[in-house]
């Protein structure tokens, strides 16, 4: 990041605004990207701390999932509204408000003594993120001039967005372990929230110094559109999240009801938007073919990437036996490689069309997903019993350095090549007064794509997992009956179950997981190829055009 921001400072050290203040591009970018990184990593930073939170606040496993779901739900559902509020009331003002709300919510979460307060704080964090994130992207568009400076700024932004999930896993594990060793074993999780407080407050206080305010147009907020759009997106994200949860699935009545409600609300939303004078979502946002293609691609491609994080993190822990913190560090090369990729791509984007850069990146990511789908782990009933009896993980023979790491790095390099040009093309041509909502649409597509991808691939994974578990279950049950009673009790205690039948189900599920995961990766290959097809066919803007602020409606064919 320092290399990119330094390059920006070197080329555009400072500009004097109309009010006489000097604008420092490098510091402005650092401020925006620190805020974006904080927002993105908070989706995963609390994951490792969930067991500690459950014990401390006496939360059930179902309610624990809402610590993750509640944040994603508020974030994804409110992004469109957050982006439009920035356009109407000033992007710097909304950016600062979002950071402040996020910091206050983090303080409440870190100090929470009850389940209700913690879950409310997570929802409030999602609100703060939904205000800050689209404003941050819009501020890059309006702060940095078109050309190399803006390209490099987007490269840093894309790297922070892409690396955030991996950084969250590492930072969450480190902070939890640090506090556990120093204080109370049940209080370590609080640091994963409290770390945001000084960062958010300092970033909000520094914003007026380094970021300029946009023109505000109060009184033009589309209230009916805001209610329908926000309600529809909340219902959609909620329904997709439930569909991706093996406890509920697509056939659950609340899943179906949420998705139906989302469809109705969003249809009404588009009807309202076509008739009001100042719509929340101006349809002109979608009229440019390149931008529309960018939105679609940014829904399909991150969907496969986020699902990769989910399944691979579980594979590394459940199959290979990595601890949560070690699993987090297993993704550290992803963060490093995506930053390297963004650095290189920021230079290539000035010489090659986005289609070729992003298209090549999608093919690299496709190969990486295919590599993950080839992970072969013996998972017969006898293999599972042998692993339990010897204390060795089921995937003890899987070599991280040769079978996991190369594809993690390839995925990161590919996605870095995807995020930078697609972010550029998604916001290019957007009128200044629509920069916030345009950024909100881009972020919303990523969030919905992630939820949809996880729901679809979780369904695929669960299907093949259940089939394999049914095959090996009888062998496992028979083997458990032959165990010494003391040994059986020890295994039951290890997996926290109270009956041999429950232990059989748990072990059969673990034995079936490699099969489910590899099939999910394989479906992810086709999702990535679909996004690749969109890029190669429809992303037809030239790199020379991205170096200028061309007017809205210009078509390059």
Reported pTM? 0.85
| Angle (deg, nearest 10), helices 332-348 and 354-373 | 160
Domain residue spans of the chain = 1-221, 222-279, 284-463+518-546
The total of other beta-carbon atoms located within 10 Å of residue 224's CB is 15
Question: Token pair 């307060």 is at which residue?
Answer: 117
Please give the class, per CATH, of domain 284-463+518-546: mainly alpha
Going 532 to 536 to 541 to 543, the CA torsion angle's sign is: positive
Judge whether 1-221 and 284-463+518-546 match in fold: yes
The DSSP bridge partners found for residue 22 are 16
Contact 101, 131 (CB under 8 A): yes
Along the 557 residues of the chain, how does pLDDT read in single tens digits?
545 455 444 444 454 454 444 457 888 898 998 888 888 888 778 777 777 788 888 887 667 778 888 888 889 889 999 999 998 999 999 999 999 999 999 999 999 999 999 999 999 999 999 999 999 988 888 888 888 888 888 888 888 887 887 788 788 777 776 544 444 545 678 888 998 999 999 999 999 998 888 777 776 788 899 999 999 999 998 898 888 877 788 999 999 999 999 999 999 999 999 988 888 888 888 888 889 999 999 999 988 887 788 889 889 988 998 877 788 888 889 989 999 999 999 899 989 999 999 999 999 999 999 999 999 887 889 999 988 888 889 888 899 999 999 999 999 999 999 999 998 898 887 877 788 888 889 888 888 888 888 888 888 988 899 999 999 999 999 999 888 888 888 888 888 788 888 899 989 988 999 999 999 999 999 999 999 999 999 998 888 887 776 555 444 44
Question: Cα-flanking dihedrals φ and ψ of residue 16, to 5°?
Answer: -90, 120
Architecture per CATH, domain 1-221, reads as: Up-down Bundle (1.20)
Going 236 to 238 to 244 to 246, the CA torsion angle's sign is: negative
Question: Cα-flanking dihedrals φ and ψ of residue 22, to 5°?
Answer: -90, 135
Residue 366: left (phi > 0), alpha (psi -120 to 50), or beta? alpha
Alpha-carbon separation of residue 232 from 74, 256, 411, 531 (angstroms): 12, 14, 32, 25
């Amino acid at each position: 990041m320092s290399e990119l921001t330094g390059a920006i400072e070197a080329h555009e050290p400072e500009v004097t605004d109309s009010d006489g203040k000097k604008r420092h591009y490098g510091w402005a970018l650092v401020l925006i990207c620190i805020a974006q990184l904080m927002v993105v990593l908070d989706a995963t930073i609390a994951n490792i701390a969930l067991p500690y939170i459950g014990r401390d606040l006496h939360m059930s496993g179902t309610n624990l999932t809402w610590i993750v779901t509640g944040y994603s739900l508020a974030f994804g559902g409110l992004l469109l509204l957050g982006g439009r509020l920035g356009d109407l009331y000033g992007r710097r003002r909304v950016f600062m408000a979002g950071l402040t709300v996020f910091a206050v919510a983090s303080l409440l979460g870190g100090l929470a003594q009850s389940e209700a307060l913690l879950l409310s704080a997570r929802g409030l964090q999602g609100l703060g993120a939904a205000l800050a994130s689209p404003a941050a992207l819009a501020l890059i568009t309006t702060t940095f001039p078109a050309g190399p400076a803006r390209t490099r700024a987007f490269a840093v932004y894309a790297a922070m967005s892409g690396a955030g999930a991996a950084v969250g896993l590492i930072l969450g594990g480190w902070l939890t372990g640090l506090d556990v060793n120093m204080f109370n074993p049940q209080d370590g999780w609080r640091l994963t929230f409290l770390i945001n407080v000084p960062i958010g407050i300092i970033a909000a206080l520094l914003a007026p110094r380094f970021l300029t305010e946009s023109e505000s147009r109060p009184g033009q907020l589309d209230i009916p559109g805001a209610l329908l759009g926000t309600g529809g997106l909340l219902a959609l994200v909620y329904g997709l999240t439930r569909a991706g949860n093996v406890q509920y699935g697509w056939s659950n009545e609340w899943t179906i009801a949420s998705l139906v409600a989302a469809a109705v609300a969003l249809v009404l939303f588009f009807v309202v938007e076509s008739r009001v004078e100042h719509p929340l979502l101006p349809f002109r946002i979608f009229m440019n073919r390149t931008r529309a293609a960018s939105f679609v691609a940014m829904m399909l491609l991150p969907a496969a990437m986020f699902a990769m994080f989910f399944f691979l993190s579980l594979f590394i822990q459940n199959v290979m036996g990595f601890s949560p913190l070690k699993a987090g560090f297993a993704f550290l090369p992803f963060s490093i490689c995506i930053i390297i990729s963004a650095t290189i791509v920021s230079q290539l984007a000035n010489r090659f069309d986005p289609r070729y850069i992003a298209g090549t990146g999608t093919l690299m990511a496709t190969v990486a997903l295919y590599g993950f789908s080839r992970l072969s782990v013996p998972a017969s009933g006898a293999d599972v019993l042998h692993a339990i009896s010897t204390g060795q993980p089921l995937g003890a023979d899987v070599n991280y350095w040769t079978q996991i790491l190369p594809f993690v790095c390839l995925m990161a390099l590919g996605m870095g090549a995807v995020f930078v040009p697609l972010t550029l093309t998604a916001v290019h041509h957007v009128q200044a007064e629509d920069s916030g909502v345009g950024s909100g649409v881009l972020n919303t597509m990523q969030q919905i794509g992630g939820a949809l991808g996880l729901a679809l691939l979780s369904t695929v994974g669960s299907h093949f997992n259940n089939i394999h578990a049914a095959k090996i279950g009888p062998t496992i049950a028979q083997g458990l009956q032959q165990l010494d009673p003391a040994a059986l009790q020890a295994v039951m205690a290890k997996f926290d179950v109270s009956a041999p039948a429950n232990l059989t189900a748990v072990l059969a599920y673990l034995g079936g997981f490699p099969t489910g995961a590899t099939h999910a990766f394989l479906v992810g290959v086709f999702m990535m190829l679909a996004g690749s097809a969109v890029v190669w066919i429809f992303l037809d803007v030239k790199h020379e055009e991205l170096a200028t602020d061309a007017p809205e409606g210009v078509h390059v064919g």
